[in-house]
Amino acid sequence: MRIVFSLNMLVGIVLCKMFCVLIILSILLLMLKKQYSKMRANRTHSETVVAFFHPYCNSGGGGERVLWAAVSAIQNKYNHLKYPNVHIIIYTGDLDAHPEQILNKAEKVFNYKIEQKVEFIYLHGRKWVEPSMYPYFTLLGQSLGSLWLALEALNTFVPDICIDTMGYAFTYPLFRYIGGCRVATYTHYPTISTDMMRHVYRRTVSHNNSRAIARNPFLSAAKLFYYKLFGLIYGWVGSRAEIIMVNSSWTEEHINAIWKCPLRTHKIYPPCNVKHLTSLPLLDDDEKCKNIRILSVAQFRPEKNHPLMLKAMYELRSIVEEEIWEKTRLILIGSCRNFEDEVRMKDMQDLSKHFALDENVEFKLNVPYSELLSEFQRATIGLHTMWNEHFGISVVECMAAGLIVVAHASGGPRADIIEIQQGSQNGFLATEAEEYATIMAHIINMHSEGRNAIRTVARASVNRFSDEVFEREFLRTIEPFFRQKQE
């Protein structure tokens, strides 16, 4: 009797405390919201302020290319006559870099010249989003850390439109409901994916799923629960963004599975820098035919699947005539990140000897860019064998340089890049070594008009990944924010 009574009391007290905490939290948030709207009203800028939330804006990676492309797109359009001025700010955590340094780097690395004024708001709390801060519960830790960082951002400056280009989904409700901003996102990669959950579910050891957890059913169940719960929250916060942009079919599929708002999700390919490749002069096909060069540009990493290329060559030998085989070369261009990669490359060389291909296979390590360009020009076929690559920038580069690509029929190459429909064919897809060999033999035996037709289509089709198309699509997608602002 007594025990039941005190248990009831305990539950009562806990509930009461939770209730109090909730009330206090709501009051705090309401006060913050009021404060932010005051700050916005008090602002000295009369223009529309667009903020990019990109704490690592000085890194020079693929995500930063999208950031600078987006900034220059907005400046090109909105600083001209049609709309009143737009002011751009970037929230960054690169405390050690001056605004000029950052802009110079954007110009040097990506060739985006940012001419009008961009204001940088420096955030001091970037350490809270670094994975090294959280040895356990990394996902949750980083996500809460990003909230903290976003609070710091809003406390410093309240924008009208906030565009997240790094995928910190937990900040969207904060920016939208408390900061009163319109929120858009460009997502490169889902924070949690159904693949990760599957690893835990199947109890496979992987990079993020340690042996200890994979072995223990209870730990695995607990981790799965954690991931599921995290996935639910991630889905809710992510779908608070009013405009969602994703960088590829792969990302789109995963984001749709978790955020569940496909109607507001737009696929916009990031700009790839292929202009210098599409303007390479094509060598004459006859000249190329003296030597049939098959080119692969891929690091010597296991997932790139170099053995499949060698097997395909082995198969090719048995189906082409001897004289053609004599002049066929497979050129493997790549780099090694570490000792394991070097060992792997040696293994490949041994494998090519084993298949008696060593006369017809060349390995080229760390070639300078000028040599890469000349290889691009001399080659006829581009070879890609990685399974389920998310995108496949090397495939795009080969096509831009005028090669006929045979890519693996999976992932990005199949979904985003290669088209095999008659009339718009821009390359080939294959999975097995025999299939690769048959297709390569077909290409070698084709008339040069046929080859040229495919090449021309391929070169034109990489336009989808150009700066111009990115700019057009990006502006069209975020247009509603600006339109409403003017009304």
Ligand X SMILES: *[C@@H]1O[C@H](CO)[C@@H](O)[C@H](O)[C@H]1NC(C)=O
d(CA 312, CA 405): 14
Smallest separation (angstroms) from ligand X to the CB of 454? 22
Q: Which of 145, 167, 179, 270 binds ligand X (CB under 6 A)?
A: 270
Smallest separation (angstroms) from ligand X to the CB of 138? 4
Dihedral through CA 70, CA 73, CA 74, CA 76, nearest 10? 160
What distance separates the 2 farthest-apart alpha carbons in the chain? 97
* Edge-first strand listing for the sheet containing 48-53: 118-122, 86-92, 48-53, 161-164, 182-187, 243-246, 265-267
Question: Is 266 among the residues that bind ligand X (CB under 6 A)?
Answer: no
d(CA 53, CA 74): 15
Tokens encoding 444: 């070698």
Stretch 381-440 residues interacting with ligand X (CB under 6 A): 390-391
Stretch 101-140 residues interacting with ligand X (CB under 6 A): 131, 138-139
Smallest separation (angstroms) from ligand X to the CB of 31? 12
Smallest separation (angstroms) from ligand X to the CB of 139? 5
Smallest separation (angstroms) from ligand X to the CB of 206? 9
Residue corresponding to tokens 């198969």: 315
Query: Identity (one letter) of the amino acid at 479?
Result: E
Stretch 11-70 residues interacting with ligand X (CB under 6 A): 38-39, 42, 62
Smallest separation (angstroms) from ligand X to the CB of 248? 4
Specify whether the CB–CB gap between 288 and 378 falls below 8 A.
yes
By CB under 6 A, which span of 218-226, 247-255, 328-336, 342-350 interacts with ligand X? 247-255
Smallest separation (angstroms) from ligand X to the CB of 230? 9
Q: Which of 58, 72, 92, 247 binds ligand X (CB under 6 A)?
A: 247
d(CA 487, CA 482): 9
Q: Which of 186, 234, 269, 300 binds ligand X (CB under 6 A)?
A: 269
> Which one, 434 or 473, has the nearer CB to ligand X?
473
* Triad 191, 384, 323: Cα angle to 5°: 175
Tokens encoding 44: 């000295």
Number of residues counted as binding ligand X (CB under 6 A): 18
Phi, psi of 363 (to 5 degrees): -105, 130
> Which one, 39 or 457, has the nearer CB to ligand X?
39
> Which one, 62 or 99, has the nearer CB to ligand X?
62
Specify whether the CB–CB gap between 481 and 182 falls below 8 A.
yes
Q: Which residue ranges make up the site for ligand X (CB under 6 A)?
A: 38-39, 42, 62, 131, 138-139, 188-189, 207-208, 247-248, 251, 269-270, 390-391
